[in-house]
Amino acid sequence: MNKEQLVDSARKIMERAYAPYSKFPVGAALLLKDETVINGVNVENVSFGATNCAERTAIFTAIANGYQKGDFKAIAVAGDTEEYLPPCSICRQVLAEFCSPEMPVYLTNEKNEILELTLRELLPYAFTDLEM
């Protein structure tokens, strides 16, 4: 799967986001090493601390489906924003837990432009278990 297809998957899943408070749907598409794609959306709660981001939804779903640390190949994040939409700091830390620092991260915007980074570029001083 190429990056455009992964971004398209993230954009399509945005429609399923549960964002009644912020009105800000986000979609994520996580590509696994076996070429499986697991999608995630943000799921809000009136108690905002209980909200879960699209990136973590995708990662946690992959783990629940039996995938493990190191099984992640790339992630795309999509939102209808003027600028590229990066993961929040909590999601960046979760990505650092499960993914290689060299894993591609594709950010997009409302114009469908794609910014390609590595996880290391997105989170240069990640707090890790030092086994990465």
Give per-residue pLDDT as tens, 69-111.
999 999 999 999 999 999 999 999 999 999 999 999 999 999 9
Q: Report residue 13 as tokens.
A: 């899943």
Question: Is 55 designated active site?
Answer: yes
Distance, CA of 53 to CA of 71 (rounded, Å): 20
The pTM for the full model equals 0.94
The domains located in the chain, with CATH, are: 3-122 (3.40.140.10)
What is the per-residue pLDDT for 128?
A: 81
According to the annotation, is 99 in a ligand binding site? no
Active-site residue, from 4, 44, 55, 113: 55
Give per-residue pLDDT as tens, 18-60.
999 999 999 999 999 999 999 999 999 999 889 999 999 999 9
What is the per-residue pLDDT for 107?
A: 98
With cut-offs at 50, 70 and 90, classify the pLDDT of residue 129.
Answer: confident
What is the per-residue pLDDT for 131?
A: 54
DSSP string, 54-108: HHHHHHHHHHHTT--TT-EEEEEEEES-SS--PPPHHHHHHHHHHS-TT-EEEEE
